Amino acid sequence: MSARDRALGAFAGLALGDALGMPTQSMSRAEIARRYGTVDRLLDAVPDQPIAPGMPAGSITDDTEQALLLARLLVDGGGRVEPLVFAKALLDWEADMIRRGSADLLGPSTKRALDLLQAGVPPEEAGRGGSTNGAAMRITPVAIATPPALDPLLGAVTAASLITHNSSLGIAGAAAVAAAVSAGIDGAPLGEALDHAERAAAAGAHCGQWSAGGDIAARIRWARGWVRGVGPEALADAVYEVVGTSVAAQESVVAALALAEALGERPFDALALAAGLGGDTDTVAAMCGAILGAQHGLSGLPAEEVAAVVEVNGLDFGPVVDGLLELREGKSHGD
């Protein structure tokens, strides 16, 4: 399998997970079961969905849109994204979402950081309180553009996270996802990719402003061991009730990697289960989808469902993935 197929798979898996979780985001597990039953396909959002009321099946959310936004900035900037340029792009994106009548706007850490930036706080300080999963949800393009060697990867993750999530938890969560995706694109088996995610999270915990919360690397290691070999119902209980599925990076990032560990050979089952868990379902499923998409490649994901997401949203991952892989090739040769 080629690196391009794996990179396309990472973006397609992210978008598929995002779309599966779109109709269930910010709902409880019990409410999801009551309103939708079992989530085993792309679903229309119910009219009173709290974030995406009435959105058609297959629609993506901020996870995929912001990942694509970051990807284009990386390609246009030759692998670098100026913090103020990124901030303006995020604000413009939110303004466009408001014009479209969407309630799917900037997350709490990103919104707070951009408000501080507009008030004159320096870019390196504005994101110091960002401990949620916003950086991790959109980090996939950085993973595609950067080989998995830990030091350069962590540098790229930190640079992309600084403006909104310059905290130990924010960077550790983003580093974990990026490491798993980047290692997968290089062809590392799932177990090795998730081991690399643990190492990256441990290193990322020493970056940015210290933030109180469970250590992400330790929680990933514990969760991976706990979920191995458990059935779907017990897995759902473990992730929803104990790991957690909130926007906190130490919950949702760990949940995504735990699902990848438990259901790595069945990517659609992993993403559908994530979509039915409750909480920040679109982001958990998107992060898990990026990791498993890098493992299985575009050719290993369910073609009908991916095609539906591409068609509903008018997506074309090819050009941006090619640009990101050119950056990766340059970094591999020290350019």
The binding site for Mg(2+) comprises 61-63, 280, 282-283
d(CA 313, CA 54): 15
* Residue 112 one-letter amino acid: R
78 burial type by CB count under 10 A (0-12 exposed, 13-18 middle, 19+ buried): exposed
Here the tokens at position 34 are: 């009551």
Distant-in-sequence, close-in-space partners of 269: CB < 8 Å, separation ≥ 6: 232, 263
Residue type, 287: M
CB atoms near residue 40 (< 10 Å): 14
- Closest-CA residue to 211 (of 125, 323, 130): 130
- Using CA atoms, how far residue 135 sits from 67, 232, 315, in Å, is 9, 29, 22
The HSE-up count of residue 88 (CA atoms within 13 Å, CB side) is 5
Token pair recorded at residue 157: 């993750």
Distance CA 13, CA 143 (A): 14
Please choose, from the candidates 214, 161, 224, the residue with its C-alpha nearest in 3D space to the C-alpha of residue 192. 224
Q: How far apart are CA 252 and CA 244, in angstroms?
A: 6
Q: Are 250 and 214 in contact (CB under 8 A)?
A: yes
**Which H or E element spans position 185?**
helix 168-185
Q: Please state the residue numbers annotated as binding site.
A: 61-63, 280, 282-283
Q: Rounded to whole angstroms, how far apart are CA atoms 45 and 24?
A: 7
Tally of residues, the chain? 335
Q: How many CB atoms neighbour CB 223 within 10 A?
A: 21
